Amino acid sequence: MKKVVVGVSGGVDSAVALYLLKKDGFNVEGLFMRNWDSSINNDSEGMQLAENICPQEEDYNDALKVCNDLGVKLHRVDFIKEYWDYVFKYFLDELAKGRTPNPDMLCNRFIKFDLFIKEAKKLGADYIATGHYAKIKDGKLYRAKDNNKDQTYFLADVKAEMFENVLFPIGDYTKDEVRQIALEQNLAVAKKKDSTGICFIGERHYQQFVQNYLKPNPGDIINVETGDVIGRHQGLMNYTIGQRRNVGIGGNKDKHFVCGKDTKNNLLYVTFKEEYLESDECLIDNVNFISEARPTDCTAKFRYRGIDYPVSLEYLDNNEIRVRYPEKVKAVTPGQACVLYQGEECLGCGFIKEVRKNGEKLWYIS
């Protein structure tokens, strides 16, 4: 009987993945990862207790209930230092540069599909499984049945060889179907709401949370069209290109967007014209291919749950690709991932280094 070690998070998706694998006759064990400690990591919000239990321990208790109900052994491992070193430090460094990082992608690459796999192998695993909405076919990564929940965007930076013995049991189910299974099996987390926020950290008041680690540095907000000062920002790390809400120009009801950051002079630029956000090509670096395919034409997503845009690819030196898109796209943001697809297959990704329009580099971040 093949042994599968399942990443059990305390949520409904991993609980149903665990149930489905046991139902299919696998020898199943659970492994709970503890990657964040609010007291160690100076996370004052995370130390606010729910029923005298911090959120991370509450998740562990939920994972334990599920495993006990299903008759499955649950192991526990701490990757707190590794998460800080490989994920959170990068997150802070990118914010300090004015860029918009995606810690969930690094979490998948360095924690869930590296350290977790190594730990599972110590337990004798033939396969590892998670509650991701995605599919693996012949070592290739494909979108999940549920387009709204599909998580291939966040998996696109994982090294191809890490998918060799991975199972995604809920990839062929919709979220509603997963909930229904959990209810039918009376799983303890059947009605638990989905986790949101930063990977393994959860929901936080974003600006207050970031200020625990990066010193606030208020500055002027500039109307890019007129050069006028129209407000004050609370630190450039709190804003992203294309942002509309909570920008800091209270009382102005005209439609406006963050369109640039001058990190040297600590200025935030805002536009009232959407065309300032448009681009027709970008340069991506640190490219990771999961597939062996190297197409010149495919589609790309520039943000999670964004639409697919037709693009053409020009392969450059230094593991960079120039991505051109005939339809102008708004708010393609340095630091974010550009994830490439060919039909339902996720080919891989790169990270947006610079953005251009009509052949000129846009100064979103300077």
Q: Which residues are catalytic?
A: 107, 199
**CA distances (Å), 46 to each of 57, 164, 181, 192, in order?**
11, 35, 31, 19
Angle at 144 between CA 301 and CA 320, to 5 degrees: 30
* DSSP assignment of 98-164: T----HHHHIIIIIIIIIHHHHHHHTT-SEEE---S-EEETTEEE--S-TTT--HHHHTTS-GGGGT
Cβ proximity of 234 and 220 under 8 Å: no
- Pure H helices in the chain: 12-23, 55-70, 80-83, 89-96, 103-106, 116-122, 152-155, 175-184, 206-210
Alpha carbon of residue 108 to chain centroid: 8
Residue at 34: amino acid letter:
R
